[in-house]
Amino acid sequence: MTAPFGMGPGNTVDIGIFDSRGHEFVEAPGFRGWSGTAKREFFIAPDCATPGYIRGPLFPGEWNVMLGVDRIQPAGARDDVTVTLTTEANELHHTTEPATTLLPARPEALVGRAEYDSPIPATTPRHGRWLRGDLHCHTVHSDGLNSVEDIVRHAVNLGLDFLAVTDHNTTTHHEELDRLSSFLEGPITLIPGEEVTTYWGHANTWGLREWVDFRCGDEESMRSLQRWVREKGAMLSINHPKCVGPPWLFEGWDGFPAMEVWQAPWRFYNWESLERWDGLLRQGERVVAVGGSDTHSIPPAPPRHPHGLAEPTTWVFVDGSATPSLPARPEVLVGRAERSTDEGAILDAIRKGHVFVSDAPNGAHLILTADEDGDGRFEKMMGDTVEAPEGKPVDFRVQVRGGMDRRLWLISDGVPIDIIPLSHVDTDYRFSLEPAGRSYLRAELRGYRGRPERGEVIWAMTNPIWLQATPRRSAASAPDEARVRL
Ligand SMILES: [Zn+2]
Ligand SMILES: [Zn+2]
């Protein structure tokens, strides 16, 4: 057990455990924890356990240690597993990390939050608001270096509206998230997640309050898992599909409702993920692009990767019904949520593709909308489908913040159809496009980061608006219709 997961040479053998209630694939009632290579030892007791492992009754019967063989050098490897049973559980505790974080009765740091620096200058004629958050991070419950509370406090200080904590192959952080949520007066929605971490690729689930199996080693088992997650009403989102991801090695790419197209700072090989995603869009796969920082450590823990929480930030538009407190034509509200927004509404927005991704919580904004019926209101947005008769151009609008000295790319069916240099911080760019012959339109904000010779990066990107041209009514059919009406 010498190499961390997916990195460097050496042998990698992971570990986890099932109790006597069963270890069947896809639904194993006996799952009691997994730590991969992050921990060399763990304990389980009735009242506490190593983070990543589930405390509780020590059911009598046959337990199974689960060893995951990621890589073994040709010379082979010797892997010893030592099991110690004791009635004095405390004897073991000093060798492990604390089982849980002890919260103060009412942690002050979790109540306040940073104010937004500025709102998006954009409006759409829809009720709702933009919320910003991070969909991917880790804690001591897997291979992260911080407690759940540390990560949540940091997210609150960044002003995030939501945070999904997605430890690898375990759910023991969920209880901590729910406990923290009960302390918060609503500034942030904490979403329990899991990074389903297989040796052939990683995928996030959000909002499922039960363990999701990760023992997929072939196409069939991944399909079974996809079905299982779908039947639970949840999503599987392919993570970091790029060479250093680790990559997605399953052949099946279809049927995943979302994909982490942007993981960590853009320069970390995200062009590869973007190309993969755009290829799926060209095939008509309506997979929603999301971002995830994949943060494993924040100060004061030593840095492990150059990943900062909410870098990138995923923005979701949460629909809200009209209320008397809203003006007749409410503007999109970007800003502090007055109360915790329901986790289900955030996940629903992701499912619909009402999402754009940007570099940071106070970074660029990019919103693509369309006026489907030509009434001057841009009522369709990213993730929606615009239907228009053949030959009738549709008006589109891109609202940009952070555009100064950057370029707006408009992309349809894998091809840039326009590249617009921007010279202002805020831009409201409008244009018309005929949907016929096109299946989607999306936007990117590109620009230099540092010296020009380093090339451009993406500062923000939208999900596509899907386009559908309806056949024009033929001249011959018009009289018939008129007769019917008469
Ligand atoms: Zn991963
Ligand atoms: Zn991760």
Compare 253 and 342 and report the one with higher pLDDT. 253
Instruction: State in Å, rounded, how far the first CA of the chain is from the last one.
Output: 81
| Helix and strand numbers, DSSP H then E, in the chain | 7, 23
Q: What is the mean pLDDT of residues 467-471?
A: 94
Q: What is the pLDDT of residue 221?
A: 98
The 10s digit of each residue's pLDDT in 436-460 is 999 999 999 999 998 888 899 999 9
* Residue 325 pLDDT class (50, 70, 90 cuts): very low
> In one letter, which amino acid is 112?
G
Distance 78 CA to ligand 1 centre (A): 27
- Looking at the CA of 5, name the nearest ligand: 1
| Cα separation, 172 vs 108, whole angstroms | 24
The 10s digit of each residue's pLDDT in 38-74 is 999 999 999 999 999 999 999 999 999 999 988 888 8
- Looking at the CA of 199, name the nearest ligand: 1
* Residue 227 pLDDT class (50, 70, 90 cuts): very high
Q: What is the pLDDT of residue 11?
A: 86
Compare 225 and 474 and report the one with higher pLDDT. 225
The 10s digit of each residue's pLDDT in 358-409 is 999 999 999 999 999 999 999 999 999 999 999 999 999 999 999 999 999 9
Which pTM does this prediction carry? 0.87
Distance 366 CA to ligand 2 centre (A): 26
The pair of structure tokens assigned to 240 is: 């970091």
Q: What is the pLDDT of residue 112?
A: 38
Structural contact between residues 11 and 72, judged by C-beta atoms closer than 8 angstroms = yes
Helix, strand, or coil here: 125? coil
Q: What is the pLDDT of residue 125?
A: 56
- Sequence ranges of the domains in the chain: 1-100, 108-363, 365-486
Mean per-residue pLDDT over the chain, rounded: 86
- Looking at the CA of 239, name the nearest ligand: 1
Distance 430 CA to ligand 2 centre (A): 38
The residues facing 260 across adjacent strands are: 290
Q: 81 — phi, psi (to 5°)?
A: -115, 125
pLDDT for 111 beyond 80: no
- Looking at the CA of 305, name the nearest ligand: 2
The reply to whether omega before 421 is within 30° of 0 (cis) is no
Helix, strand, or coil here: 408? strand
Distance 240 CA to ligand 1 centre (A): 7
Distance 416 CA to ligand 1 centre (A): 30
Q: Pick from 374, 264, 258, 365: which is nearest to 317 by CA? A: 365
Strands of the sheet containing 31-36, edge to edge, are: 31-36, 12-18, 64-71
The residues facing 394 across adjacent strands are: 433
Q: What is the pLDDT of residue 451?
A: 87
Q: Which CATH number among 2.10.50.10, 2.40.50.140, 2.60.40.10, 3.20.20.80 corresponds to the domain 365-486?
A: 2.60.40.10
Distance 263 CA to ligand 1 centre (A): 9
Percent of the chain with pLDDT over 70: 83
Q: What is the mean pLDDT of residues 476-486?
A: 44
Domains 108-363 and 365-486 share a fold: no
Fold classified for 108-363: TIM Barrel (3.20.20)
Q: What is the pLDDT of residue 320?
A: 76
Distance 222 CA to ligand 2 centre (A): 18
Q: What is the pLDDT of residue 186?
A: 63
Residues, CB within 5 angstroms of ligand 1 (ion): 202, 239
Distance 259 CA to ligand 2 centre (A): 13
Distance 137 CA to ligand 2 centre (A): 6
